[in-house]
């Protein structure tokens, strides 16, 4: 579960400041895809960066499960991010020299995996490559993979340390519509399977069907929340 409580974020803008996120309160429960949509420049990426604890807000709180990120030291926030938050950006940001499987192993090495037995880490990497449909491509480097396959690797990499929160920013912007729909469907399936609290930013409402909840942001403010029917939430195991 991730909760933003009355979060405001401003950036310097000449002599004044621009408000990117304006008193936003939002909860994303486990096992659910909370979609975030809105026009370009409305503050979606800023919201996600605050949720990821990459940017500290001017005011308000970010709760990751029972932890208030604002109370953490820089090192504690880094550890929280590493262990509890998986992030997928618009571009896949893979390391060019590493194979798909190695991208996952390195992330596990940096995270909780360093305390785990090597065989368990490898098994987790292989399980995730299989889950994203890349079991046969684990030895390929990014240049040998398609855009959609690279995004699949970055999704698997984001999940390798079993995060409770998955944050995804416009993952389909570099893909054609069919590949994009496959990626959104994959994120939805993994969210349900791995029970991550997922926040997914997309400006493309063609993907509405795969999102459990849809929040609309305009000028840094939530203008609409399309909450799923209770039955859907119950199916997903949310109380």
Residues lying near Mg ion in the complex (CB under 5 A): 44-45
- Minimum distance of ligand ADP from residue 181's CB (angstroms): 21
27 interface partner picked from ligand ADP, Mg ion, none, CB below 5 to 8 A per type: none
Q: Which two tokens stand for residue 64?
A: 């990751």
Q: Which of residues 19-48 bind ligand ADP (CB under 6 A)?
A: 20, 38, 40-46
- Minimum distance of Mg ion from residue 45's CB (angstroms): 3
Residues 48, 163: Cα–Cα separation, whole Å:
16
Q: Which of residues 60-99 bind ligand ADP (CB under 6 A)?
A: none
Residues 148, 150: Cα–Cα separation, whole Å:
5
163 interface partner picked from ligand ADP, Mg ion, none, CB below 5 to 8 A per type: none
Of 11 and 59, the one with the shorter C-beta distance to ligand ADP is 11
46 interface partner picked from Mg ion, ligand ADP, none, CB below 5 to 8 A per type: ligand ADP
11 interface partner picked from Mg ion, ligand ADP, none, CB below 5 to 8 A per type: ligand ADP
- Minimum distance of ligand ADP from residue 53's CB (angstroms): 16
Binding site for ligand ADP (CB under 6 A): 11, 18, 20, 38, 40-46
């Amino acid at each position: 579960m991730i909760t933003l409580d009355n979060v405001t974020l401003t950036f310097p803008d000449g002599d004044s400041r621009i408000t990117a996120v304006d008193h936003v309160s939002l909860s994303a429960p486990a096992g659910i895809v909370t979609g975030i949509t809105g026009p370009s420049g409305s503050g979606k990426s800023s919201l996600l960066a605050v949720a990821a604890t990459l940017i500290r807000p001017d005011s308000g709180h970010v709760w990751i499960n029972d932890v208030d990120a604002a109370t953490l030291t820089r090192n504690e926030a880094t550890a929280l991010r590493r262990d509890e938050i998986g992030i997928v950006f618009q571009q896949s940001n893979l390391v060019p020299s590493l194979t798909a499987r190695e991208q996952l192993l390195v992330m596990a090495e940096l995270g909780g995996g360093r305390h785990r037995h090597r065989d368990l880490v490898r098994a987790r990497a292989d399980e995730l490559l299989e889950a994203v449909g890349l079991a046969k491509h684990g030895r390929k480097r990014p240049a040998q993979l398609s855009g959609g396959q690279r995004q699949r690797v970055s999704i698997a990499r984001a999940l390798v340390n079993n995060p409770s929160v998955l944050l995804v920013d416009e993952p389909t912007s570099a893909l054609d519509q069919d590949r994009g729909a496959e990626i959104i469907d994959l994120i939805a399936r993994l969210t349900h399977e791995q029970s991550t609290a997922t926040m997914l930013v997309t400006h493309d409402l063609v993907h509405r069907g795969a999102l459990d909840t849809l929040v609309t942001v305009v000028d840094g403010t939530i203008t609409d929340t399309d909450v799923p029917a209770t039955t859907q939430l119950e199916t997903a195991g949310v109380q």
